[in-house]
Amino acid sequence: MSVGKPLPHDSAVLHVTGQARYVDDIPAPAHALHLAFGLSRIARGRVVSMKLDKVRAAPGVAMVLTADDLDRPADCSPSAHDEPLLSDGTVHYMGQQLFLVAADSHLAARKAARLAEVEYEEEEPILTVEQALAANSRFEDGPRVWSKGDAETAISNAPRRLKGRLEMGGQEHFYLEGMAAMAQPQEDGVTIHSSTQHPTEIQHKVADALGLPMSAVKVECRRMGGGFGGKESQGNALAVACAIVAGKTGRACRMRYDRDDDMTITGKRHDFRVDYEVGYDEDGRVLGVDFTHYTRCGWSLDLSLPVADRAMLHADNAYLLDAVRITSHRLKTNHQSATAFRGFGGPQGVLGIERVMDEVAHELGLDPLEVRRRNFYRAASELNEAPQHHDDPAPALPKDGDTDLASRGAQAQLPSGGAAPETGANTTPYGMEVTDFILHEMTERLLETSDYKARRAAIAEWNAENPVLKRGIAFSPVKFGISFTLTHLNQAGALVHVYQDGSIHLNHGGTEMGQGLFRKVAQVAAARFGVSPERVRITATDTHKVPNTSATAASSGSDLNGMAAQAACDTIRDRISEFLAGLHQCKPSEVRFADDQVHVGGESLSFEQAVKLAYEARVSLSATGFYKTPDLKWDRIKGQGRPFFYFAHGCAVTEVAIDTLTGENRILRTDILHDAGHSLNPALDKGQIEGGYVQGAGWLTTEELVWDDKGALRTHAPSTYKIPACSDRPDVFHVNLWDAPNPAQTIYRSKAVGEPPFMLGISAFLALSHAAAACGPHYPALDAPATAERVLAAAKRARG
């Protein structure tokens, strides 16, 4: 069977020969126009005057548009309709789009855009957490607060207490393929090629901007050169701009951001400040904890509410907290609008509690590993009851036709449901019973295979003897909730055709950004028909084939689309079975599809023969499939319910070395054990784990975003923004799969694997902290990203 095999990526040969086409590689139709935005040079204020005569007169320019030139308001927001395509005169961040140039080449458009003469009335930008709090500049009416038990009393009654603060930076996606879109006018609508994780959102925003029904807009995406969340909502502006100019000129339009523009315009991971106060006992058990999250969301709402929610949802990570309060401030600042990025707030929440565990262990002189294990949720194997799933109805959706229903931002507008908190001994701060916790067993195995204890002892000895270079080692776990927290997004569709020659056409709503989704879903389809995977033709995501799709996000791609494809394949397979059973006077259940053959009534037909017979007997060989995740209910205002179908787990041990004179550092060895359920494709899953870890470690070490006091992003190219290179990966890197079936009924009992391993990079950060702590008696209180400067400062703090 094709499922579970380490088959290569679907476009392997195309990738290595340069034949794989990305949006900007599609040959431009004749007379295509190229677009560029004119960008604001201030972070906050008003445009007093904008002279565009020189722009219009520049060579090759065909059209220049400002907000006033648009026939109807064009909005690019995935949530609150607060992102006009072109500024209405108010400037909210440096890099905001003021006007749009269309010219006969990419270079001509960009050059012309620089010729604008813009006068501004500048205002003092709101840039820091303190400034935003002082100005009460925030989204929602106030902070969200979720709690379980009485944290305040628990902390004040605890034998020991500590307070602290952790700052963590944001992160640029740096998808190697920058944002790109192309629009081709059609006789009654438009076709868009977009590098997007969310074709339906692009379709919706383009239709809205053109005043067309969604049915008149076709959006296609064959592949992206990386997404990481950055292409969930940030591609809207390019597609909408191309569609508008295509509509006005009747010419094909294409647009791609130059790298500096891309980094200047588009949103990044949310940075967070986490203030914490914890009460604990002498054994390191956390008795009560109070977290306050402050996140700078940038100028518009985008997906900040669900991101900040997910940070709260992961403030417990793997630990059973009896008394906890989480307060979350979503601050509105004059920056790029922070957006989705692998983990979607989860990593920021997880890092908060991991810091608490680390500091508690330091104060008690315990191995942080032991403090973590003592606070773990109870193991699934120790719980009396089998995992239970509930099927209460989901809260009703609003009837407001103006809502971006297919966006994760839509939850800002949903009414609260009536979910009641669950009661039990193993519940999360949001009242969900944890019934599938396997980190005790996983930790045990990883400690053995990584030889953690002996290495930790050896490092302590080594550090005692070496004054300049210090080594550090740390373990960190992750428990990550799988599902969109906006319940209605947990649906997917697929379209499968079987042609009369036995070839199979597969389409579904998921998008391919390198994670191997297309290969995995094709493996599912091949398995359902009992045929070799080569028979399944993988096709571009297309809103005209499968409608109303959710973003390929929240790690949900194969969970949702695999199930939808399975449903479509089974419909066709059952029709063929029924027909052949009739011919052979047997039960349909006795027809078997395997080895590219169909076995029925003692006879074996080739798959082609079976299909040909079915076709001639007028059996429909085309079907749609649909899936919705069961058992979800969630009230984000109360912070109560069951937002996740299941949890994915992982754990890592990382060893690092630092130079205490310079702060320079490197990762020496990493061991990972990760839970991908029964993996659909172990090769692809291991790639996700390795890549996720390195990207997570990059976020917390070298990737530093710097804005100046005017609000200008100074790190807008790879010259100043350092993502991990080949030489930054661990020298020794052992990655293994736990490989036990998912107790939840997922596709072939696999688990989502896109985001969870990102958080394993936290072990690298904690190991750096451990190394810095070797410099002296005090807690180093390392902030992220742990650049050489911060490591140096942390070492100094440790010395006191």
Partner 1 sequence: MQTSLTINGETRQLDLDPRTSLLDALRHHLGLTGSKKGCDHGQCGACTVLINGRRVNACLSLLCMHEGDEVVPIEGLGQPGALSPMQQAFVEKDGYQCGYCTPGQICSATAMLEEIAQGWPSHVTADLEARPELTTEEISERMSGNLCRCSAYPNIVDAIRKAAGETA
Residues within the interface to partner 1 (CB under 8 A): 8-9, 11-22, 24-25, 27, 173-178, 223-228, 258-259, 513-516, 683-684, 687-688, 690-691, 693-695, 698, 717-719, 723-727, 729, 731, 733
46 versus 669: smaller Cβ distance to partner 1? 669
Q: Least CB distance from residue 69 to partner 1, whole Å?
A: 29
Q: Enter the tokens of residue 491.
A: 């649906």
Contact 312, 144 (CB under 8 A): yes
d(CA 782, CA 800): 14
d(CA 752, CA 732): 26
d(CA 569, CA 654): 43
15 versus 378: smaller Cβ distance to partner 1? 15
31 versus 587: smaller Cβ distance to partner 1? 31
Q: What are phi and psi of 54, to 5 degrees?
A: -65, -30
6 versus 582: smaller Cβ distance to partner 1? 6
Q: Enter the tokens of residue 49.
A: 């005057």
Contact 272, 293 (CB under 8 A): yes
Q: Least CB distance from residue 555 to partner 1, whole Å?
A: 15
Q: Least CB distance from residue 760 to partner 1, whole Å?
A: 12
Q: Least CB distance from residue 738 to partner 1, whole Å?
A: 19
Residue 22 DSSP label: P
d(CA 411, CA 575): 39
Contact 236, 205 (CB under 8 A): yes
Contact 63, 102 (CB under 8 A): yes
d(CA 725, CA 7): 26
95 versus 754: smaller Cβ distance to partner 1? 754
Q: Least CB distance from residue 31 to partner 1, whole Å?
A: 15
282 is catalytic: no
CA dihedral 349, 179, 79, 633 (to 10 degrees): -50
Q: Least CB distance from residue 264 to partner 1, whole Å?
A: 13
223 versus 573: smaller Cβ distance to partner 1? 223
507 versus 670: smaller Cβ distance to partner 1? 670
d(CA 254, CA 523): 34
Q: Least CB distance from residue 701 to partner 1, whole Å?
A: 13
- Picking from 579, 587, 583, 567, the residue whose alpha carbon sits closest to that of residue 615 is 579
Query: Which residues is 277 bridged to in the sheet?
Result: 163, 290
Q: Least CB distance from residue 194 to partner 1, whole Å?
A: 15
Residue 382 DSSP label: G
- Picking from 701, 760, 698, the residue whose alpha carbon sits closest to that of residue 723 is 698
Q: Least CB distance from residue 702 to partner 1, whole Å?
A: 12
12 versus 706: smaller Cβ distance to partner 1? 12
User: Burial code of 682-721, b = ≥16 C-beta within 10 A, e = fewer?
Assistant: bebbbbbbbbbbbbbbbbbbbbbbebeebbbbebbeeeeb
Contact 155, 161 (CB under 8 A): yes
Which residue among the candidates 172, 277, 690, 755 is catalytic per the annotation?
A: 755
17 versus 589: smaller Cβ distance to partner 1? 17
Contact 413, 398 (CB under 8 A): yes
785 preceded by a cis bond (ω within 30 of 0):
yes
- Picking from 755, 631, 696, 678, the residue whose alpha carbon sits closest to that of residue 520 is 678
Q: Within a 10 A sphere around the Cβ of 153, how many other Cβ atoms?
A: 13
d(CA 642, CA 672): 28
Active site residues: 755
